[in-house]
Amino acid sequence: MAVLEEGGRGWFRALGAAGIDLIWHPSVSLETGEEVRDILAAVESGERPLDILCVEGAVLCGPDGTGRFNRLAGTGRTMMDWVRALAPRAGVTVAIGSCAAFGGIAAADPDPTDARGLQWRKSAAGGALGSGYRSRSGLPVINVAGCAPHPGWIMETLAALAAEEIGAGDLDAFGRPRFFADHLAHHGCSRNEFYEYKASAERPSDRGCLMEHLGCRATQAVGDCNQRSWNGGGSCTDAGYACVACTAPAFEDVTGFLATPKVAGIPVGLPSDMPKAWFVALAALSKSATPKRVRENARKDRITVPPGRSEGGK
Amino acid sequence: MTRLVVGPFNRVEGDLEVTLDVVEGVVAEARVTTPLYRGFEQMLVGRPSSDALVIAPRICGICSVSQSMAAVAALRAIGGVEPAENGVIAANVAHAAENIADHLTHFCLFFMPTSPGRPMPAVPGTRRLSSASRRPRAARRRSICRRARGSWR
C-alpha cells in the first residue's frame, strides 16, 4: 500500500521504467485463485525465473514452529513454508517493512505468533530463513525497514536492484540500504531550531522539539524521513508526532512510546554518537541562550512570537 | 459433493480463503476463513495506555487512522476526558481524508479492474449462471494498466 504513493508518475510506470515485470501482487494483479497457484508452482519448480522476491509482513512461525498462524489461502501451506520454498529461487530477496525485516509490531511482547523477520529476529541474526541464507545473487535479505517504509525507499531499492547497483557494501549492519539508512530521521527536521536550543514541547501539539519530553527518537533512528515528503508533504515529526524509530529492529519493544525515559532529568536515549557529558553541557548552554521567540513558541500550538523585524541582518 | 478451496485472492487487502461445497454443479455451502492470526490484543496488555496510539494504527496499512480513532475513543472513555473542540475537528478531518483515500483505493485498485466487462473468475466444477461477455486477456490487461495509471498518475 505504501508504494502506491510512489512519485508523480505512479508506481506502475516507475516499475515499467525500471524494467520490472510484476509477476504477482495480491493487491494489484488480475490473477486469482488457481491462476496464482499455477504461478507459484512454476516459480517454485524453477520453470519461471524469479529475479526479485518481495515479502511483506512478518513470517509467523507459531504455534510451536508450525507456521500455521498464517496460511496462504487456497494452498494449504503456511507462509513460512512458501517463503522458505521461494527464497532459494530468488535472484534477490527483499523484506518490505519492519515486520518482514525484523518481526516488527507483529513480534511485540509477548510475541503471540512467534513472528520473525526473514533474516532477523528483532536485533538477532537468524529469522525465518536463517543467518546463512543468501539469494542467488549472493546478497543477504535486503531490509527496506520502516513502519511504513517510505514509497521511495521501496521503489528506489527495487530499481537499483533491477540495475544490479546494490552490493553488500551498500547495506548497513542490519541489511538496510544505506541510501536511506546512512541518514538519521532527525536530519532536516522542521523543529531543528527548537532542538538546537533544547526548547522542548511539553504537551502534544506544542511546536517545540519532541525529544526531551515526548519520546522522539529521531536522533537515533535511521532514515532520511525529514528529507523526503510523506503523502505529498511533511513527516511524523513535522506533524507533531514523536519518531518511534520504526526503522530499527525491536522498536516495538519500547514501552511508553510517547514519553522520554530519563535518569536524573537527562534523557536516556541521547544521540548514539554524542558523549553524555557534552550533551548535558551543551543543553545547559543553549537553554540559557534561547531567544524569547523560540522559548515561547516551543510551548504553544501556533506561532505567538514571530521573528523580529530587526532580525535577518538588516 | 465436491469441496473447492479458493485462494489466494487478488485485490483484497488482507487474508481470505473461501471453501465451497458444490452439489450437482451448484454451490450448496460457502464458508469464509481468515487464515491469519496476529494477537494484537495481547500486545497491549501491561503497556502504558498511550502506547495504543502507536500499536493500534499498525493493525492495518489501509485504515490506520480509523484504528487510531477507535483507540482514542477507548482511551477517552477510560480517562473520562473531554477532548478539545479543535482537536476533535482536526482528528475528524484526518479521518475523513483517509476515508476518501480508501474509497478511491478500493474503487480504482480493487474494484475497477474487475468491472465492467470482466465476469467473476470461473470456479471449476460450477455452472456459470450469468452470461457476461469475456474480453481477451490482453485487452483486459491493457485496461487495468490504463485505469491504474490514470488513477494514480
Going by their DSSP bridges, the two strands A90-96 and A50-56 should be labelled as parallel
Chain B residue with minimum CA distance to A6: B152
- Does the structure show a pLDDT above 60 at B136? no
b/e burial code for range A44-75 (CB count within 10 A of at least 16 → b): eeeeeebbbbbbbbbbbbbeeeebbbbbbbbb
Among B31, B58, B108, the strongest candidate for a mutation testing the A interface, having the largest count of A CBs within 10 A, is B58
Mean pLDDT score of chain A:
93
- Chain A stretch 264-303, residues whose beta carbon is closer than 8 A to a beta carbon of chain B: none
- Do residues B73 and B49 lie in contact, with contact meaning Cβ atoms separated by under 8 Å? no
Picking from A8, A27, A105, the nearest residue to B58 by CB comes out as A105
Chain A residue with minimum CA distance to B115: A30
Give pTM, 2 decimals.
0.88
In this complex, do A112 and B9 lie within 8 Å of one another by their Cβ atoms?
no
Among B8, B125, B109, smallest CA distance to A32 is for B8
Which residues does chain B have within 8 Å of residue A150's beta carbon, measured at their own beta carbons? none
Chain B residue with minimum CA distance to A9: B153
Give per-residue pLDDT as tens, B60-97.
888 999 999 999 999 999 999 999 999 899 999 999 99
The three-class DSSP label of residue A5 is: helix
Which residues does chain A have within 8 Å of residue B17's beta carbon, measured at their own beta carbons? 71, 73-74
Neighbours of A162 (CB within 10 A): 19
Contacts (Cβ under 8 Å, ≥6 apart) of A3: A11, A96, A151, A154, A155
- Does the structure show a pLDDT above 50 at A166? yes
In this complex, do B153 and A9 lie within 8 Å of one another by their Cβ atoms?
yes
The half-sphere exposure of A134 on its side-chain side, counting CA atoms within 13 A, is 7
Mean pLDDT score of chain B:
80
**How far apart, in whole angstroms, are the C-alpha atoms of residue A207 and residue A291?**
15
Q: Determine the pLDDT at residue B11.
A: 76
- Do residues A97 and B32 lie in contact, with contact meaning Cβ atoms separated by under 8 Å? no
Among B68, B72, B51, smallest CA distance to B59 is for B68
In this complex, do A30 and B58 lie within 8 Å of one another by their Cβ atoms?
no
Give per-residue pLDDT as tens, A108-134.
999 999 999 999 999 999 999 999 999
- Chain A stretch 83-102, residues whose beta carbon is closer than 8 A to a beta carbon of chain B: none
Q: Determine the pLDDT at residue A78.
A: 97
State the pLDDT confidence band at A266, using cuts at 50, 70 and 90. confident
Please count the residues of chain B. 153
Q: Where would I find the H helices in A131-246?
A: 151-162, 178-181, 192-196
Q: Determine the pLDDT at residue A309.
A: 66
State the pLDDT confidence band at B52, using cuts at 50, 70 and 90. very high
Lowest mean pLDDT among A196-210, B70-84, B138-152: B138-152
In this complex, do A33 and B121 lie within 8 Å of one another by their Cβ atoms?
yes
The three-class DSSP label of residue A79 is: helix
Give per-residue pLDDT as tens, B104-115.
888 888 877 766
In this complex, do B148 and A257 lie within 8 Å of one another by their Cβ atoms?
no
Higher-scoring residue by pLDDT: B122, A142: A142
Whether the CB of A2 is below 8 Å from some CB of chain B: the reply is yes
- Does the structure show a pLDDT above 90 at B138? no
State the pLDDT confidence band at A274, using cuts at 50, 70 and 90. confident
Chain A residue with minimum CA distance to B48: A256
**How far apart, in whole angstroms, are the C-alpha atoms of residue A273 and residue A266?**
16
Nearest chain B Cα distance for residue A28, angstroms: 6
**How far apart, in whole angstroms, are the C-alpha atoms of residue A102 and residue A286?**
38
